[in-house]
Chains A and B, each alone.
Chain A
Amino acid sequence: MGKNLVGNHIRKLRFNHDEMTQQQLADKVGVTRQTIVALEKGNYSPSLELAFRIAHAFNLPLEEVFFYGDHTKQ
């Protein structure tokens, strides 16, 4: 299975938000912990709605949580 082109900074952001656990973020955005695990591993590109809910949970705009393509080239 190829890696998704949509990457994210969820792990880093969780750490910066009082070391929020995966379960706490999952509860906040209404998904299971498995989905947060898959997102952090880059195994799953979320729906637009879920992406917005996650960005909302961190009080950040969407583009500061998610990026498209290789982040290092930006």
Chain B
Amino acid sequence: MTYQEKKSIVSVISAILIFVSYCLFMYPRYPGVGVESSEVFHYWGSFVLNLTLFSIVAHIIISIIFNIVFRMTTNEKEPAFADELDKLINLKAFRNSFFVFVVGFLFAMGSLAFYQPLHVMFMILISSGFISDVTGSVTKLYHYRRGV
């Protein structure tokens, strides 16, 4: 298995771990029933912002650890640049990821249109962000294994 394939697998696993652990951390902090709407908006706003920051930092740390482990186990250096195949696969991954997020965004807006509670909209929006991230990594893995 090549570096890019291993990296895609690590990306999928780390995205799932980061998202699940963050949700488990934030779930008990959800404001209870009868709280002002500004509190609820504050909760969801900080949920998204903190998740973004947390996942960026966690991804960087996991990537550094992965590169160290890869070098130690294979005695190979990771590729220092992205060539034409990498760029093509990245584009396809981005397209699929973007498509999934847009569908999720539309569902989130649809939930508001059908008078669903506010938290449903935020949950769909955040879930679609997570699924689109995973979709991007799975697309990369698929194309690195099966070709373009």
Contacts and interface: CB of A to CB of B under 8 A. Distances in A.
A46 B84 contact: yes
B85 interface: yes
Contacts of B3: 32, 34
B8 to A, nearest CB: 11
B147 A4 contact: yes
B138 to A, nearest CB: 14
A34 B144 contact: yes
B2 interface: yes
Contacts of B85: 31-32, 34-35, 38, 44
A71 B56 CA distance: 48
Contacts, number: 44
B2 A34 contact: yes
A30 B2 contact: no
B14 interface: no
Contacts of A37: 2
Contacts of B4: 32, 34
Task: Among A30, A34, A46, A50, find the residue whose CB has the most chain B CB atoms closer than 10 A.
Answer: A34
A30 B84 CA distance: 10
21 contacts: A1-B146, A1-B148, A4-B147, A31-B84, A32-B4, A32-B81, A32-B83, A33-B2, A34-B2, A34-B3, A34-B4, A34-B79, A34-B144, A35-B84, A35-B85, A38-B147, A42-B147, A43-B148, A44-B147, A44-B148, A46-B84
